[in-house]
Amino acid sequence: MRVPHGCPPKPTLVDSAGNPYVLPREVNEERFTKMFKQIKKLTGALRPLSASERELSYLNGSSDRIDLEYRQRQIDRGLFRNGF
């Protein structure tokens, strides 16, 4: 095959078996949607807890009413809102 003006030949869009390298749009969109869902799950698992989620978790760890009231006072004083 002659190459005009020294340009490389254009790549073919089918492999040796005749299967296309470029998939139909529906297949690409389905793969993209699956990939996006996986990335969304991963980022959701890695994100830090918000202040309200930390407060709720702290309150749920109380052992009795007195401990709960003590924890509520600590939260009211800003235990989780001041930063680290």
What's the mean pLDDT when you consider all of the chain? 79
Task: Please give the pLDDT value at position 73.
Answer: 93
Parse the chain into domains and list their residue ranges.
25-76
Round to whole Å and give the CA distance between 39 and 29.
15
Please write the tens of the pLDDT for every residue from 30-64.
777 888 888 888 888 888 888 888 899 999 999 99
Angular region, 47: left φ>0, alpha ψ -120 to 50, beta rest: beta
Round to whole Å and give the CA distance between 44 and 73.
30
Query: What tokens appear for 9 in the block?
Result: 């030949």
Round to whole Å and give the CA distance between 11 and 15.
10
The b-or-e profile of 46-66 (16+ CB within 10 A means b, else e) is eeeeeeeeebeeeeeeeeeee
